[in-house]
Amino acid sequence: MSEAARKEGREAALMALSALLGARLSAAAAIREAHGRDESWHAVAMPDAVAFAETTDEVAAIMRICAAHGMPVIPFGAGTSLEGHVSAVHGGLSLDLSRMDRIIEVNTADLDVRVEAGITRKVLNDYLRDTGLFFPIDPGANATLGGMAATRASGTNAVRYGTMRENVLALTAVMADGSIIRTGTRARKSSAGYDLTRLLIGSEGTLGIITELTLRLYGIPEAVRSGVVPFASIEGAVDAVIETIQSGLPVARIEILDPLSIRACNAYSKLALAEVPTLFVEFHGTEASVAEQADRFGAIAAGHGGQQAEWASKPEDRTRLWEARHNAYYAALAFQPGKKGMVTDVCVPISRLAEAISGTLADLETSFLKAPIVGHAGDGNFHMLLLMDPSDPRDLAEATRIHDLMVARALSLGGTCTGEHGIGEGKIKFLEAEHGPGVGVMRAIKQALDPKGILNPGKIFAG
Amino acid sequence: MSEAARKEGREAALMALSALLGARLSAAAAIREAHGRDESWHAVAMPDAVAFAETTDEVAAIMRICAAHGMPVIPFGAGTSLEGHVSAVHGGLSLDLSRMDRIIEVNTADLDVRVEAGITRKVLNDYLRDTGLFFPIDPGANATLGGMAATRASGTNAVRYGTMRENVLALTAVMADGSIIRTGTRARKSSAGYDLTRLLIGSEGTLGIITELTLRLYGIPEAVRSGVVPFASIEGAVDAVIETIQSGLPVARIEILDPLSIRACNAYSKLALAEVPTLFVEFHGTEASVAEQADRFGAIAAGHGGQQAEWASKPEDRTRLWEARHNAYYAALAFQPGKKGMVTDVCVPISRLAEAISGTLADLETSFLKAPIVGHAGDGNFHMLLLMDPSDPRDLAEATRIHDLMVARALSLGGTCTGEHGIGEGKIKFLEAEHGPGVGVMRAIKQALDPKGILNPGKIFAG
């Protein structure tokens, strides 16, 4: 397509969208700028306009207009992604779903809920509290459920409850041609045809736009015990995690923080933790079972140089602890003001976690960059938050070098380049290394379902 | 393609396959016949030949030959499917994977195992026993793991351990053009690109041929308690299941059998159970936790007219009990010799299970056909085994009528036409009713990945 034809198509699309949406279509620079960035170091790429959709039918109408005019569409939830997922690298329309935040139905008898895609996890859980149920997936950021599904998010609770992959029963999605599909049912299992639910989960807005989700819920545990366990060495802390998982202990959360992370969290969240390798743990169950779990864990930790756990006895202490953990990314950024974070995200088989982390620490020892390490250790998933200035070529090259080493090591250990953040624009180069000819199959699916390449172009695949 | 060109292509393919495989390509009528049938009522459709593959590379070479000549390829494992999955409705090659039955590596430290697709679940679990680990998915029949993945199988343990969807970490598959892909890694979670693992699981051999699987394993429970609980009414038994699930009791198995099923099992498996609605249950855990679970369950059952449980105290009694349950299908067939079974498979949200079962029982009361009912009640999944003679138009029409009513009811209750058996050729007509425009998306994926339509044609989709 010639540049003139392209420009003409975009203008025609914007006119039609304006007629459809009125004031809910915005071309204001501040709004476009806010929709062209996520929380990562990736460069802002502004869309041509931002649409605030209110219904699935409206999303479908928007898609039909954009399809007719070859206009890219980038779904936008809360903008908390970490790999440049929402940036409009080819311009186009940012489709903001945050006004689609209704809870459509709660089925307490079946432990499920149907929501619109723009609701955030905190709003959902606040609403659910009175029912005695909760949705466990917890990526830290207060992301939208649609965004969490699109990136196959997980977080601290995944070791016990699984990820978005395991906890979405059904989706409503608008496809590239504006058709609306509903995948899955409320039944807990099905063998009826291809698993379109799981295909859309993790597709990062490149195959369809998720507008509604049916989610699994869980009973709020009768008893919860959270605590902090300092270790003499990072190896000891990792080995305690490995033994905990291998022993089948049903830990609900088991997070690792290195001394640098603890220092950043102490400063940012006003804590006074010892600046040593530390595990944050949590157990869910009955009073008796959490006590038993905590005892068993304590014995394992002691065997690897762990000190006595300091238990958060009051709910507010527990909340404070996990808020500090969730703010570790912001704490790290505050640690070196002016720097941004290249947030890495490898995940390896649990038995190889010690090698993966110690290898990364050895790489960092030779580097001039600082990088706190935090991780969902129970899943074999950890993040090195490389603090760097992306406008400084020396910083960027060094961060890239260390990240490349980390991913190569994870792949050689049988792992993945990303446990929960997705490919976005930041990890495209790793996809081929991880999947080889599988990338060709992914491209064929993309081509079949989005032949014009208008759904979040430039993400997952180059182009 | 003209009939002459088609025939010429097949002959050329068979010559090339014969050169590749020698005696491992067979056109013997008995072998072709055995590969054109599964355990269902569906008509035998013989392939032109049967290939016995020994390696993934060989499967790839076979696929390249068949692709070059437009020859259909139907993967074959143990032939235990129930919807005509292996029948060669357009002729072609039955690709028997049963000789690919190696265990490639057991990673006890990570609770995973890599196997070839042709190994059966019983052989795998026999091998694993000494490691203290097991693979829980248990569809009754001694199916191959490849076949179980291809149909997204589950079975009695799914209520606790999930289905094949949740328990496959990675796959090796040969695609329609003969390319080999490896999906997933040994990491427990990943957000790296489209979920090709889940796309292939449940694709029934129509998108690719699974040749290897990496599976999750679990520790053999320290304590197991199995038992039988007779009920005064089917409604009472169902309500006990619903309350058990809603209360969050982590039951490992909870199966319902109606009086007719019990009568058939008594006769076939030499049991002496009371011919009343019955639950078979099992709990996994520590000695203390199974005792607690059994107590809690006993109280729930008593509240719905359940009698005292009869616990199978010895392992051999437990084995006998579950073998009887697994043989319920064969027991039903033996109940009316000469009849075949139309095995239905709906799954509904747990709160709607009572309506789904009682509606089906009411339909059966007006019918001249006999149909025992058994089910994985904890998942909301149950089977009505319609005993009928498919060569008798009156039987077939009546079985079809009752099945149609059952599926329509399940869909109206928010459920699915098939919980674990798949679409095959038997449930094609229900796919559209369940998925609507989603079927168009499935077809687009099929077209993209198998443009010549040579992978198990006539399954999932008509044609």
How far apart are alpha carbons A93 and A454 in whole angstroms? 10
Place of tokens 């079972």: A289
> Amino acid letter at A391?
S
CA distance B360 to chain A (A): 18
For residue A256, pLDDT over 80 is answered with yes
Which residues on neighbouring strands pair with residue A215, listed in sequence order?
A113, A168
Coil vs helix vs strand at B254 = strand
Segment B379-433, tens digit of pLDDT? 999 999 999 999 999 999 999 999 999 999 999 999 999 999 999 999 999 999 9
For residue A148, pLDDT over 80 is answered with yes
**Using 50, 70 and 90 to split pLDDT, how confident is the model at A2?**
confident
Q: What is the ipTM of this complex?
A: 0.97
Name the closest residue on chain B to residue A184, using Cα atoms.
Answer: B435
Which residues on neighbouring strands pair with residue B259, listed in sequence order?
none
Cβ–Cβ gap A110/B442 under 8 Å: no
Cβ–Cβ gap A189/B434 under 8 Å: no
Pair A442, B193: CB distance under 8 Å: yes
Place of tokens 């709160």: B351
Name the closest residue on chain B to residue A353, using Cα atoms.
Answer: B187
For residue B228, CA distances in Å to A97, B191, B255, B274, B277 come to: 51, 43, 10, 10, 11
Average pLDDT over residues A40-67: 97
How far apart are alpha carbons A344 and A338 in whole angstroms? 19
Helix, strand, coil percent content, chain B, rounded in steps of 5: 40, 20, 35
Cβ–Cβ gap A438/B246 under 8 Å: no
pLDDT at B210: 98
Specify whether the backbone of B108 is left (phi greater than 0), alpha (psi in -120 to 50) or beta.
Answer: alpha
Average pLDDT over residues B165-174: 98
Specify whether the backbone of A274 is left (phi greater than 0), alpha (psi in -120 to 50) or beta.
Answer: beta
pLDDT at B286: 87
How many beta carbons lie within 10 A of that of residue A210, not counting itself? 32
**Using 50, 70 and 90 to split pLDDT, how confident is the model at A249?**
very high
How far apart are alpha carbons B315 and B233 in whole angstroms? 29
Pair A371, A264: CB distance under 8 Å: no
How far apart are alpha carbons B337 and B299 in whole angstroms? 40
* Closest partner CB to A175 (pick from B218, B347, B441): B441
**Using 50, 70 and 90 to split pLDDT, how confident is the model at B1?**
confident
pLDDT at A259: 96
Name the closest residue on chain B to residue A178, using Cα atoms.
Answer: B437
Segment A6-26, tens digit of pLDDT? 999 999 999 999 999 999 999
Mutate to test the interface with B, among A113, A166, A188 (most CBs of B within 10 A): A188
**Using 50, 70 and 90 to split pLDDT, how confident is the model at A68?**
very high
Pair A276, A229: CB distance under 8 Å: no
Mutate to test the interface with B, among A190, A220, A244, A449 (most CBs of B within 10 A): A190
Name the closest residue on chain B to residue A177, using Cα atoms.
Answer: B441
| Radius of gyration of chain A from its Cα atoms, rounded to whole angstroms | 22
CA distance B203 to chain A (A): 6
Segment B314-336, tens digit of pLDDT? 889 999 999 999 999 999 999 89
Backbone angles phi, psi at B345, to 5 degrees: -160, 35
pLDDT at B139: 94
Segment B7-64, tens digit of pLDDT? 999 999 999 999 999 999 999 999 999 999 999 999 999 999 999 999 999 999 999 9
pLDDT at A314: 85
**Using 50, 70 and 90 to split pLDDT, how confident is the model at A462?**
very high
CA distance A231 to chain B (A): 23
Q: Considering chain B, what percentage of its residues have pLDDT values greater than 70? A: 100
Q: Which helix (H) or strand (E) holds B13?
A: helix B3-21
* Closest partner CB to B192 (pick from A183, A380, A431): A431
Backbone angles phi, psi at B261, to 5 degrees: -65, -45
**Cβ-Cβ contacts under 8 Å, B348 against chain A:** 186-187
Pair B102, B127: CB distance under 8 Å: no
Mutate to test the interface with A, among B110, B151, B191 (most CBs of A within 10 A): B191
Pair A260, A334: CB distance under 8 Å: no
* Nearest partner of B430 among B409, B454, B399, B450, judged by Cα: B409
pLDDT at A288: 87
pLDDT at A374: 97
The tally of CA atoms less than 13 A away on the side-chain side of residue A228 is 23
CA distance B434 to chain A (A): 8
Q: Considering chain A, what percentage of its residues have pLDDT values greater than 90? A: 96
Q: What is the mean pLDDT of chain B?
A: 96
Coil vs helix vs strand at B132 = coil
Average pLDDT over residues B247-256: 94
**Using 50, 70 and 90 to split pLDDT, how confident is the model at A307?**
very high
**Cβ-Cβ contacts under 8 Å, A187 against chain B:** 347-349, 379-381, 410, 414-416, 419
Cβ–Cβ gap B192/A442 under 8 Å: no
Cβ–Cβ gap B192/A417 under 8 Å: yes
How far apart are alpha carbons B183 and B227 in whole angstroms? 40
Cβ–Cβ gap B187/A415 under 8 Å: yes
Segment B189-239, tens digit of pLDDT? 999 999 999 999 999 999 999 999 999 999 999 999 999 999 999 999 999
Q: Is A141 exposed, middle or buried (0-12, 13-18, 19+ CB in 10 A)?
A: buried
Q: How far apart are the first and last CA of chain A?
A: 15
Coil vs helix vs strand at A231 = strand
Domains defined for chain B, CATH in brackets: 3-98 (3.30.43.10), 103-219 (3.30.465.10), 223-330 (3.30.70.2190), 336-435 (3.30.70.2740)
For residue A40, CA distances in Å to A120, A425, B36, B177, B189 come to: 19, 11, 55, 39, 22
**Cβ-Cβ contacts under 8 Å, A447 against chain B:** 448
Q: Which helix (H) or strand (E) holds B257?
A: strand B253-257
* Nearest partner of A96 among A16, A30, A35, A141, judged by Cα: A35
Cβ–Cβ gap A181/B151 under 8 Å: no
Residues in chain A: 463
Name the closest residue on chain B to residue A221, using Cα atoms.
Answer: B248
CA distance B150 to chain A (A): 10
Q: Which helix (H) or strand (E) holds A20?
A: helix A3-21
Name the closest residue on chain A to residue B181, using Cα atoms.
Answer: A438
3-state SS, one letter per residue, for B291-342: HHHHHHHHHHHHCCCECCCEEECCHHHHHHHHHHHHCHHHHHHHHCCCCEEE
